[in-house]
Structure 1
Amino acid sequence: MVGILLQPQSSPFPLLFLAAVSPPLLPALGVFSLIIILMAVTIGDRLIVRGMNRFRVWLTPWFKSQPSPWLELSWSLLQWGLRLGLWLLGVIGVLLLPASNPLQRWLLLTFTPVVNRLTSLLVTPLFTLGKATITLTSLFTLIVVSLALLLLSRWLRNWIKQRVLTRLGLDRGNQEAIAGVIGYLFTALGIIIVLQTIGIDLSSLAVLAGVLGIGLGFAFQQLASNFISGLTLLVEQPIKVGDFIEVDGLLGTVEKISIRSTVLRTNDNLCVIVPNNRFLERNVVNWSYANPQSRIHLPIGVAFGSDTVLVTEALLAAARQDARVLSHPAPSVWFKRFGDSAYEFELLVWIDEPKDFEPIKSSLNFLVEQELSYRGIEIPFPQRELRVRHTEELRLLFNQPTSPAPTSPQRPSQPPIPPPQAVQSSFSAPGQFAQDQTLRVLLRKVAYFANCSDAELRVLIERGYQKFFRSGQVIFRANQPGDTFYIILSGSVEVLSEGQWSPNQAETPPLAVSIDPKATFIQVENQVLATLSKGDFFGEISLLTGAPRSATVRAVEDTILFVVDRNALQKLLQEYQELAERIAIELAQRQQVLRELGLLNQEDESNPADKTPLQRIRQRLQTLFSLSDRPGWPGHA
């Protein structure tokens, strides 16, 4: 019905116009004037229809969702009212023609009593409200102006949100809340002005509101509760438009918060309308509140006897392969319990897109299965061990002779069913995994971590992360501060010496790519000192001592490195401070390297009153990694 009203195919007003003008009077009228008026009114009617439709199309982007049926009906009534008024003006124009005097007299005699009757009906008091008298005219005025206020309020709210609040850089939730409050305040203020204009004293409504409030409070208790809850949500903003929330097991993104209800859009693109009072009466999980970062728990079970450090490495490797998993905070692994048939682990990862947690969990499950299979770690199934007490009875039961089976046609012999081991071996085995290339083995190749326990290495593996470098990309340059060390997981790098070269020199720098003649000195890479490949490590001296890098390192090909930064090592040394003592002793044995870095000098070593190299290294480690004093460290005898 609304669609028909919005786009009428034909207009009944010309027929009504001709019916109002009696055919016998047409010769007496000015035919030319009648045609001009009819054409003008017809053209005006078409212009109203087209103009209203275009104006409606222009207003469509201002509406976030489909306009309500009440707005559609109001728009249709407004369009029909304008067209009816235009045709009434056309009739009045015809009646004002000199040739229509007989028609005027007939109309006056016929319709004057009707008009007087309608006029008296419109101004007849229906009831009084305080000192104001309510008539049909005042009621009609109140309804029309209220509908106009609703339309204007919605337009103002959308205009403020899109033209003002968006430019201020506010997030979507605050935009909706501020625009909604402004729209409701404008509507309330407009209604107050309209009531005052038609003569209704607001003070007279207080008694009526008090009387009706008691009865309506019980009848519309739920509606009032939703109304108050909606105002609370808009003002306090425990949830905002755009937040990903969970209420009563329902997960979805908040699309709209109105006075009565809130619209949630689920991951299946379904819109669910939830009454506002449920958000205040039930426990609501807001995944986007304050900080959108949230943690996913992924339980995994592995077979008894599995290498727990290798399991940790596999789970962390799976987590680091998903780009949606955050590097900081880093993924971690918990050993939850010894289950009935498995070691039960839990992989914990952080994400900043809560609404994608289900797809991320699915992706992690695929990656975990891939990493565990690659490393030969078994995912067990529930098992039960049965013990037979009376074995003799069981043996007699199986040794009883069976009665001969009835003769049947001879069937072709079937191949024997292979044992489970044979069936399993018939499948393609997973890729061979080099046990000597695990992070635990690679870390133990570093002299400072050679004697670390599995628990200590697990902390490093859990706190470290992988980083990818493209061919030719510089990992770090000489003389830069260094707080990381690297283990090559794949690819290779080259270590380059670096120095200064002046354009005034005759010789050309070996590896300089571009030279600015105006420069006084140019930093150049002189020669390749070493090439490191998979399993090698570098950068540990700068991490442990705080000294600047002594050379430049560049990727020869696409390379993946395992990175241990200062925060990871600090966490390890704070948990296992005896490891700091072993590192200090190992560093003290490399006095030649420390002298080259300027951390030791010959005069300090020859001065017996000064601290020994081991004591100075201890003090440096304590300062770099914020280690507490302990016996044997500086400050203790």
Structure 2
Amino acid sequence: MNTVRQFLNFELIHLKAFTLTVADICSALLVVVLARLLLYLLKKYVLQLFFKRRNVAIGQQFAINQLIKYALYPIVIILVMQSLGIQPSVLLAGGAALLVGIGLGLQQTFKDLFSGIILLVEGTVRVDDMVVIGDTIVMVKEIGIRTSKVETRDETVKIVPNSKLVEDTVINWSHNNRPTRFHIDVGVAYGSDLGLVKSLLLEAADEHGQILKTPPAIVQFREFGSSSLDFKLFFYSYEFLRIEVVKSDLRFRVDELFRQHAITIPFPQQEVWFRNELSTSPSNKHQNA
């Protein structure tokens, strides 16, 4: 017993007003282990039961878990410092000037940190949401305290600063839980049977499994173009991430149906006239005479 006491009281560091013993290290480790155990039990049993009873969405579950974790971290850090004999108030007071300098140099980092808290609290962007950042369609995979992980249609994971999701204009297709309308452009030759064109476009949309029957697809005659009659085929779908694949399938089917019914998809054509200046010049006429 005395041996254990002596081991725990063994001084690893001894300065003027600071002494670090093995017991202090063990106390700090015990605080970390207990905090992780508490967080695990809270997520595994208390929160899971709460989520099931309230039918909380996956994105909201992730946000609540992250907020609890981030609220627990500062408490654990303070307790660990006290276990090691370090007073947080003294440390903060002594390093005030240093903290100011660090704060000025890490303004963007602090902006991202606060943006992460805003995202988790407001829930404007959640995990599994389909959003458009700039011109890129991505699915949100994880919202961290400073950065978020998103997955593109190429299944590439990108790390995005949280401030970009808060300050920039972001289109959230999953926010209203409704299907989104998309369209493809189609041009046909002048003189085509427009009623047949409309029915074939609707037939192509109706055959595709990823295009919703309700709301129904619609066809609009948009313009008399320079070389074609221009149509837009509007359709609704929940297939946000792979929508370009749906559009490609639709174009293949439209081209096939048009070929079967002898409907031409024109391409721009220009006629170029060459004028022979030599044949009309006076000198040329005199030589011919």
Indicate whether the TM-score tops 0.5: yes
Residues 7-52 of structure 1 deviation map (CA, whole Å, 9 limit, x = unaligned): xxxxxxxxxxxxxxxxxxxxxxxxxxxxxxxxxxxxxxxxxxxxxx
Query: Equivalent residue for 1:291?
Result: 177
Instruction: Decide which of 189, 193, 197 is 1:303's aligned counterpart.
Output: 189
Are residues 1:342 and 2:228 paired?
yes
Query: Equivalent residue for 1:332?
Result: 218
Alignment of 1:451-490 (within 5 A): none
1:165 partner letter = F
Alignment of 1:299-448 (within 5 A): 299-387=185-273, 393=279
Query: Equivalent residue for 1:171?
Result: 57
Distance 1:137 1:119, change over 3 A: closer
Contact 2:31 2:79 in 1 (8 A): no
For 1:138 and 1:340, how far apart are their aligned partners in 2?
85
1:235 offset after TM fit, Å? 0.6
Residues 32-90 of structure 1 deviation map (CA, whole Å, 9 limit, x = unaligned): xxxxxxxxxxxxxxxxxxxxxxxxxxxxxxxxxxxxxxxxxxxxxxxxxxxxxxxxx9x
**What's the secondary structure of 1:355's corresponding residue?**
coil
For 1:134 and 1:303, how far apart are their aligned partners in 2?
89
Gaps of 5+ in 1: 1-88, 93-114, 128-132, 395-637
Are residues 1:122 and 2:12 paired?
yes
Query: Equivalent residue for 1:144?
Result: 29
Contact 1:233 1:239 in 2 (8 A): yes
Runs (4+) of structure 1 exceeding 6 A deviation are none
Instruction: Decide which of 127, 134, 154 is 1:268's aligned counterpart.
Output: 154
Contact 2:24 2:85 in 1 (8 A): no
1:270 partner letter = T
TM-score of the pair, normalised by structure 1: 0.39
Query: Equivalent residue for 2:67?
Result: 181
Distance 1:319 1:393, change over 3 A: farther
Query: Equivalent residue for 2:284?
Result: none
For 2:112 and 2:33, how far apart are their aligned partners in 1?
25
Residues 313-349 of structure 1 deviation map (CA, whole Å, 9 limit, x = unaligned): 1111111111221222221112222222211111110
2:246 partner letter = I
Instruction: Decide which of 202, 205, 216 is 2:102's aligned counterpart.
Output: 216
Distance 1:186 1:337, change over 3 A: same
For 1:126 and 1:283, how far apart are their aligned partners in 2?
56
Distance 1:327 1:358, change over 3 A: same
Contact 1:153 1:184 in 2 (8 A): no
Higher relative contact order (CA 8 A, sep 6+): 2
Query: Equivalent residue for 1:155?
Result: 40
1:190 offset after TM fit, Å? 3.5
Distance 1:136 1:385, change over 3 A: farther
Contact 1:301 1:345 in 2 (8 A): yes
1:243 partner letter = D
Contact 1:333 1:347 in 2 (8 A): yes
Query: Equivalent residue for 1:440?
Result: none
For 1:296 and 1:121, how far apart are their aligned partners in 2?
70
1:155 partner letter = Y
1:383 offset after TM fit, Å? 1.0
Contact 2:32 2:80 in 1 (8 A): no
**What's the secondary structure of 1:179's corresponding residue?**
helix
**What's the secondary structure of 1:311's corresponding residue?**
helix
Query: Equivalent residue for 1:231?
Result: 117
1:134 offset after TM fit, Å? 6.2
Structure of greater Rg: 1
For 1:136 and 1:226, how far apart are their aligned partners in 2?
38
Distance 1:391 1:306, change over 3 A: farther
Contact 1:264 1:273 in 2 (8 A): yes
Distance 1:148 1:292, change over 3 A: farther
For 2:16 and 2:180, how far apart are their aligned partners in 1?
62
* % identity of equivalent residues: 32
Contact 1:319 1:325 in 2 (8 A): yes
Residues 105-145 of structure 1 deviation map (CA, whole Å, 9 limit, x = unaligned): xxxxxxxxxx89x9674362466xxxxx5636587357524
Distance 1:187 1:163, change over 3 A: farther
For 1:294 and 1:145, how far apart are their aligned partners in 2?
52
For 1:302 and 1:162, how far apart are their aligned partners in 2?
57
Contact 2:189 2:264 in 1 (8 A): yes
2:40 partner letter = W
Gaps of 5+ in 2: 281-289
Paired residue total:
276
For 1:393 and 1:156, how far apart are their aligned partners in 2?
97
Contact 1:342 1:380 in 2 (8 A): yes
Distance 1:119 1:360, change over 3 A: same
